[in-house]
Structure formats: C-alpha cells, structure tokens
Amino acid sequence: MTMTARLIEGGVTTPAGFTAAGVYCGIKKPNPVTHPLDLCLIASTRGPVPAAAVFTTNLAVAAPVVVSRGHLDQSGGLCAGVVVNSGCANACTGDAGMEVARQMSAAAAAALGCDTSHIFVSSTGVIGVPLNLGKIKTGITAATVALSTDGGPDATRAIMTTDPFPKSCAAVIDTPKGRVTVGGMTKGSGMIEPRMATMLGFLTTDAKVAPAVLKAALRQVCDETFNAITVDGECSTNDCVLLMASGLSGVEITDPSDPALVEPLRAVAGHLAREIVRGGEGATKLVTVRVTGAASLGDARLAARTICNSPLVKTAIHGGDPNWGRLIAAAGRSGARFVLDAASVRIGDVDLFVHGVPFDERAAAAATVLEQERMVITVDLGTGGTDEATMWTCDFSEEYVKINAEYRT
C-alpha cells in the first residue's frame, strides 16, 4: 500500500493533544496598525510527551538554546510546553540572560503545572539586548488563560520578526493503522542558512513515537527541507526546531524511516521551508536550484549551497539577467568535483550552457523565465555521477539591504 501525505490548512494545534496561544506582552514596540503579538505558548494537553529537537550550529549560542538543550537531555526527551518570545533574542547577554531563560521556563512550568525540565524555551529578535523578565511573566500568565485548540494562528503571529507573513500548515496521511496528522509553524526571514539546524520551527504530531525515533526522523527530514534553504548565508544564534508527539492517534511508529511519520513530516517541513524562502527579507522570487551529475551527495549539496548563497547569482536573478557564467563560476569554486567541458546550465527549460558550450542566443528566452515569481535552475557538474541535490533560495533586492541596514534603528 502506497501512503501519500496530503497538505491541509492548519498548524501546531491541528494534531490532537495540543493547544496554543499568542499574546502581546510589550517586548516588541506597540503598533496601533499591525497590533503585534510577541509571546507564544504551546501546550500538550497530556502533560509531558515525547519530543526531539535540532539546534543551531553557531558557536555564539543563545541562552534559550542552552537551556532547552539541557532540559531535553535532563527529561529524557519529554516536553509539556513551549514558550517563545519575539523582539529580543536573549543572545550574547551573559549570565543575566541565562538566568532570564531559566526563569522564563520556570514561569511557564508553573503555569502549566509541570516540571521545569519539561519546558522548551525559545527567543528571537535583536542580539545583545536584555530580555525583560517581568513582561515575559505577564505574557505567560495571559497566554495560559488564552490557550485553545484555535490558538494556532495567534501563536504563529507571535513568533514573527521581519517575516512578511505567518507560516503554518498541517498534513495528514492514512495508514493501515489509522490516520496520522502533523502540524507546524515557523518563523524566519533573514539570517537563514541553517547548517544542521533550522530557524524557529515548532512541529507537532498525534503519532505514538519514542523520543529516539522522533529525533532520527526529525534529523532526516530537516536535512531534506530546512537544511536545504538559504536566504542570505547567515546562521543565527537561536535556530532550533522542535517536534512533539501526543500519541493520541494510536498509530505507533518504531522505525524512523516509516512513511507514516516521515511523509507528513516531510510535507509540512518542506512547505514551511519554502515559505521561509518565499518570505525572505526583500525577496521577490522563490528559486529552486537543482544540482545533478555529482560524484557524491555531499558534492551535490556543496555545489547547490554555494550557488544559492552567491550574491552575484542572487542579484542577477533579481535583475532578470540569465548570467549562466555566475552559476558555472559558483559551482566551480564550491569545492565539489566539477568538469567544465561536460558541465551544463538550464534556466527553466532553456539550456544556456551545454557540455561546456554556451548558447547565448537563448538568453532572451531564459530572461522570460526569470520574470516569474518561481523558477527552477539546474546545474549539471559534468562528472558523470548520478547524485543530485535540491536547495531553495531567493533573490537579493534593494529591500534586503534596507531592512538590514535599519534593523536596530
């Protein structure tokens, strides 16, 4: 029996066993037009449930990441609730920031009636600014009262920073044992190039899964989705993704490669990853980069990442310039095995460079492809290998520079 996951509208509260809320507590500046939210709470209705997470690889790690990683280790991979604030990263804030992260999780634990080690805490926003614990505690109290199965949209809004739109979805899959549902929400618009972590992402499922199995499945899916996107090549201090499993579907998963879990998880994570790129700071185009003809999977991913992170490639795409030379140059300097005389470049369905021979007379057709909001660029490394990889990126615009030049002002 072939099992296929189907995307549906929803979020972290779509799987049974989870409630959420988003409130304003004053971390962000008030805005009478947009009415921002800045504190999110996600709760398991069953108390501590199996959970797994992956975290940033940045060595300048934020206090909430240290605390949450410790809690998951201490609890043996159990989590009862998640508290997240936006507007302040609580990163590079020393011992005081670490204590705020601990107190933030303690306040959430008291509100939800669980042990502090069963709380996952996360923050996002400006680095190096103290986080106001008093406001956080007030927000946790308000969010606890507001928890509901309808609270997903507000929770999603509450974790946004420069994101132009909220990002959430869900997926279902029908198995011989019953239906499995996965829901999720993410934030991320700049500082997006995870490298074995992700932005802020929170995923839930009603499958019955042990923590070790959850962790293996999450790592596998993250490598194919969140770790395959880049907006600007920057890796944040606060990146993390958490997956919690309520078990309420009754469908037990013991194999981390079981399609009953991996397929809906991949569907949700893949959709959210592409939405992050589509909503990248100043982005106007979503670009799928396929690298084929690689000598190894590692080479394919290396070349794809180098192409996706190239400012010259990204600005050419923004300007509608089918500059195949920049794509070839990026692939050639990536460190992946590369044979120029056998390499090829295709933009959409237009072959611009085939086995080392340019076809510049096709540039006008390729430029038409670059006018679209979504496009596929394929680069063959010419090694004769069969490995390939896909990554997603966006263009670089003047708006990206403006947003980041004025981020703290």
Max CA-CA distance within the chain? 68
Q: Which of 198, 204, 205, 237 is catalytic?
A: 198
Domain boundary among 278, 304, 319: 278
Do 268 and 373 belong to one domain? no
Looking at residue 389, which CATH number applies to its domain? Answer: 3.10.20.340
Distant-in-sequence, close-in-space partners of 69: CB < 8 Å, separation ≥ 6: 53, 55
Q: What is the model's pLDDT at position 229?
A: 77
- Do 252 and 323 have their domain in common? no
**Domain boundary residue among 250, 278, 306?**
278
92 and 139 share a domain? Answer: yes
pLDDT number for residue 404: 65
pLDDT value of position 127: 86
Q: Are residues 349 and 215 in the same domain?
A: no
DSSP 385-404: --EEEEEEEE---HHHHHHH
In a domain, 301, yes or no: yes
The answer to whether residue 34 sits within a structural domain is: yes
Range of the domain at 331: 286-405
Q: 382 and 243, same structural domain?
A: no
> 221 — phi, psi (to 5°)?
-70, -40
Within a domain: 1 = no
DSSP state, residue 29:
P
Q: For residue 408, what pLDDT is reported?
A: 59
What is the total count of domains within the chain? 2
Asked if residue 359 and residue 216 are part of one domain, the reply reads no
Which domain-ending residue is among 224, 243, 278?
278
Is 272 found in the same domain as 292? no
Count of CB atoms situated within 10 Å of the CB of 67: 25
In the predicted model, residues of the chain with pLDDT beneath 50 are 190-192, 194-198, 232, 234
Taking alpha carbons only, the member of 320, 291, 311 closest to residue 391 is 291
d(CA 288, CA 39): 33
| Pair 223, 363 in one domain | no
376 located within any domain: yes
Q: Among this protein's residues, is 198 annotated catalytic? A: yes
pLDDT tens for 64-121 read 999 999 999 999 999 999 999 999 999 889 999 999 999 999 999 999 999 999 999 9
Cα separations (Å) of 74 from 46, 77, 120?
19, 8, 12
Q: Residue 406: its pLDDT value, please?
A: 64
Task: Please check whether residues 133 and 265 belong to one and the same domain.
Answer: yes
**Which residues does residue 347 pair with via DSSP β-bridges, in sequence order?**
350, 377
Residues 380 and 231 in one domain: no
- Judgement on whether residues 255 and 307 belong to the same structural domain of the protein: no
Same structural domain, 161 and 89: yes
- Strand extents, DSSP E, 217-313: 240-245, 252-253, 286-294
